[in-house]
Amino acid sequence: MTRDAHRDELGEFLRARRAELSPRAVGLPDSGAPRRVPGLRREEVAQLASISTDYYTRLEQGRIQASAPVLTALARVLHLDDDQHAYLFGLAGKDRTRPRRTARQRVQPPLQRLLDDLTATPAMVVGRRKDILAWNALAAALITDFSGIPEKQRNYVRLLFTDPAMRTLYRDWETVARTCVAQLRMEAAKYPDDPRLAALVGELSVRDPHFRQWWAAHHVTALSVGTKALCHPVAGDLSLDWDTLTASTDPDQQLIIWTAGVGTATHDGLRVLASWAADHAVSKSAPDGAR
């Protein structure tokens, strides 16, 4: 992504955020009169950030580059959370730790062995762009047969938006999909020059109106833990806690695991699913895969 393109993205992000805030939310009097645009006006944001309206307008239009103090002030005015704050600075090129290259990713043998040993717990490794790098048999039984997906298309976000079965599997598919789009937005700021990420976004923007709408909203998150409700054709209704562990050998690789408390119906459902996976020879990932 070029510098000009990054400035355009930053402007779109600022516009999207101010559109979500009412004058009352930032301590300004609200006359109650109808507004031509939703949210805050440019001059209101500029006033609260102690900058000129002309400066802020040029910033939204991608014509100038903001300083770190100005970005900090805007983050405060627009009520950005930590993830959004980091995303804003990344778009402005102020994150000095941002990686510049995207080397191929390889799952190391110890991590692959850990996956293989987790016979009672669904687990998989995702890399940049949420590419699916490795998985155990129970994860394949829970979500889909990853081995049947061509390697270059083996991506969790693509799967959510292109496989109709995912909308049935996840009871709250919209929340799951929105979260993934927001996570992908975060990564786009971290790796602005990743051609495969740009291609993925372009493909899904054309194929799915939901993705196109949520991507344009510029929501970002680094959410790495939560609970997902599934309706599985074999295991039935499941309420799975999920957590994310970062690989020590590659901070862009994450081990995602799904668990349930012992004695719960979901725990029993996972045991049923594990037995079914063994009977049907569900495939786990082969070792030494690279992306």
Residue 99 lies in a domain: no
Give the per-residue SS3 of 242-278: EEEEEECCEEEEEEEEEECCCCCHHHHHHHHHHHHHH
Together in a domain, 59 and 114: no
Mean pLDDT of 30-41: 77
Same domain, 75 and 196: no
Task: Indicate whether 65 belongs to any domain.
Answer: yes
Distance CA(264)–CA(274), nearest Å, equals 16
Tell me: the pLDDT tens digits for 160-183? 999 999 999 999 999 999 999 999
> Ranked by mean pLDDT, which of 116-120, 198-202, 265-269 comes out on top?
265-269
150 and 264 both lie in a single domain: yes
pTM reported for the whole predicted model:
0.77
d(CA 58, CA 120): 56
Are 85 and 122 contained in the same domain? no
One domain for residues 113 and 159: yes
58 and 135 both lie in a single domain: no
CATH number of the domain that 254 lies in?
Answer: 3.30.450.180
User: Which residue range forms the structural domain that includes residue 9?
Assistant: 3-91
CATH number at residue 75: 1.10.260.40
Domain boundary, last residue among 91, 118, 136: 91
Q: What integer pLDDT is reported at residue 96 of this predicted model?
A: 45
Are 17 and 121 contained in the same domain?
Answer: no
125 lies in some domain: yes
Residue 290 belongs to some domain of the structure: no
Structurally, the chain folds into a number of domains equal to 2
Q: Phi and psi dihedrals of 189, rounded to 5? A: -75, -30
In a domain, 100, yes or no: no
Phi/psi-derived region of residue 34, left when phi > 0, alpha when psi is between -120 and 50, beta in every other case: beta
| Residues 208 and 273 both lie in one domain | yes
Average pLDDT value for the chain: 89
Say if residue 84 is in the same domain as residue 113. no
Q: Residue 287 falls within a domain, yes or no?
A: no
Do 80 and 142 sit in the same domain of this protein? no
> Is residue 246 domain-shared with residue 145, that is, in the same domain?
yes
Q: Give the residue from 38, 60, 91 where a domain finishes.
A: 91
CB atoms within 10 A of CB 25: 12
pLDDT in tens, 238-288: 999 999 999 888 889 999 999 999 999 999 999 999 999 999 888 888 765
Taking the C-alpha atoms of residue 218 and residue 255, their distance in angstroms, rounded to an integer, is 26
pLDDT value of residue 286 = 72
The answer on 246 and 130 residing in a single domain is: yes
pLDDT at 290: 46
Please count the residues of the chain.
291
Given 40, 63, 91, which residue is the final one in a domain?
A: 91
Q: How far apart are CA 99 and CA 116, in angstroms?
A: 31
